[in-house]
Amino acid sequence: MQEAVIKRAKELLADGSVNRVVGWKAGEFAYDTTPAVFTSAEELDAGFIYNDFCAPNLSKYIIKESRKEGKLLVFLKPCDTYSFNQLVKEHRIIRENVYIIAVPCTGKVDVDTVKSKGIKGITGMTSDGENVTITTLYGEKTMPKSETLGDKCRTCKSKKHVIFDEIIGDDGEVNTDGARFELVEKLEMMTPDERYDFWRNELSKCIRCNACRNVCPACTCESCVFDNPNSGIQQRAATDSFEENMFHLIRSFHVAGRCTDCGECTRVCPQNIPLHLINRKYIKDINEFYGDYQAGSDLETRAPLNDYTFDDCEPSIVYKRGGNE
C-alpha cells in the first residue's frame, strides 16, 4: 500500500498537478507518526509512510493548507473524508485547491491500547493486517490486530470514502450495526446517580490541555470562546468541578450535529477520558429525535441544529425516555 501511495504522490508532484503532499511522516518508533507536508520526491522517500499506525486525521490541517499557494495532494482515510466533507460544507476548506486520494483503512493500531495490555518498552511494531508484531526492550510479542485498536477504530462507523478525486484500493461499506452506541446505551440505562459518578470520575481527570479541542476537525473557530478574555469563561484550568463539566458540555454542544464521530478527541486525551461518548450521545439523540443523520456524509443536507420541522418532539421527551429514574 505504502509503495503505491508514494508512487502516485511522486507522479502528481512530477507532472505539476500539485506542489505539495499532506501525509504522515515516520517517527522514532513505528507508532509515532506525525502529519507533515512533503514538497519533493526525496522528502517522500525519506519519511512518508502509510500503514496501520497512521491514526491522525489530516482533514483539519487542510483548512490552513488549502489557503496557501497552489494545489495540494492529501491522502484521506474513510473517517477523514467525513471530516473533510463537513469542513468543505462549512466553507472552511477551499475544495478547488485540494486533490484527494482516498486510501483504505482497516483500523489503526493504538499504542496506548497495546501498552494497556502490559507491554512495556515498545521499540517497533509491524502489522500484516491480521497480526501486530511488537518488538520491545524486553522481547518480542505478537497479538491480533483487532486487540490493538483504539476506541476510535474498535467501532468504526464507515469504511466508505465520501469524497475523493481518485481512490487507491477498494472502497468499503458504511457500518450500520450501531455497535458504536453500545456504551452510550449502557450509560443511559444507569441511574442518574451512577451516571453522575461516572462522569465526575472521568471529567475530574481533565487537565484542560485543550488537546481534544485543538485536534477536533469540527472545532475550527478562529478564536475559541474559552480563549477569549472578554467571554467571562476564559479558563486556563478547571479550578472548580463546574468548569470541568462546562468546558466539555459547551465544547460538545458546539460540535453537536457537526461532529462526524472521528474519535480523535478520545485518541489524543492524555488522561484517557472517553470524550467520544459525549459526542456519540448527541449523535444518538439526533438520530432518534430528528432522523438518522451523519455529519459529513454529503454536502447538501442541513445540519440538524440549523434545521427544524413543525412537529419536532418537545424537550419534555427527556423526562419520559430511557434510563432509570
Residues 21-80 that bind other proteins (CB under 8 A): 27-29, 31-37, 56, 61
> Are the C-beta atoms of 62 and 93 separated by less than 8 Å?
yes
Q: Looking at beta carbons only, is 159 or 294 nearer to other proteins?
A: 294
Q: Which stretch binds other proteins (CB under 8 A): 96-104, 153-161, 168-176, 262-270?
A: 262-270
Q: Which stretch binds other proteins (CB under 8 A): 8-16, 85-93, 147-155, 309-317?
A: 309-317
CB of 174 to other proteins, least distance (A): 24
The set of cell numbers assigned to 256 is 453537536
- The owner of cell 524486553 is 138
Which residue of 166, 171, 182, 227 would you call a contact of other proteins, by CB under 8 A? 227
Q: Looking at beta carbons only, is 159 or 217 nearer to other proteins?
A: 217
Which residue of 175, 285, 287, 293 would you call a contact of other proteins, by CB under 8 A? 285
Distinct helix (H) and strand (E) counts, the chain: 13, 9
Q: Which stretch binds other proteins (CB under 8 A): 69-77, 141-149, 170-178, 315-323?
A: 315-323
Any residues with CB less than 8 A from the CB of 91 and at least 6 apart, and which? Answer: none
278 touching other proteins, by CB under 8 A? yes
Phi, psi of 172 (to 5 degrees): -100, -165
Q: Looking at beta carbons only, is 36 or 143 nearer to other proteins?
A: 36
CB of 281 to other proteins, least distance (A): 5
The set of cell numbers assigned to 258 is 457537526
- Strand, coil or helix: 231: coil
Beta bridge partners of 133: 126, 142
CB of 182 to other proteins, least distance (A): 15
Binding residues for other proteins restricted to 114-173, rule: CB under 8 A: 116, 120-123, 136-138
Q: Looking at beta carbons only, is 164 or 199 nearer to other proteins?
A: 199
The set of cell numbers assigned to 272 is 484517557
In whole angstroms, give the CA distance from residue 167 to residue 104.
Answer: 8
CB of 48 to other proteins, least distance (A): 14
Binding residues for other proteins restricted to 100-119, rule: CB under 8 A: 111-112, 116
Query: Total residues contacting other proteins (rule CB under 8 A)?
Result: 91
Q: Looking at beta carbons only, is 159 or 248 nearer to other proteins?
A: 248
DSSP result, 137-167: TTEEEEEEGGGTB-HHHHT--B---SS-SEE
Which residue of 210, 220, 287, 293 would you call a contact of other proteins, by CB under 8 A? 210
Give the DSSP H/E element, type plus range, for residue 318.
helix 317-320
> Are the C-beta atoms of 75 and 22 separated by less than 8 Å?
yes
Binding residues for other proteins restricted to 171-200, rule: CB under 8 A: 187-188, 192-200
Would you say the C-alpha torsion 9, 296, 265, 292 has a positive or negative sign?
negative
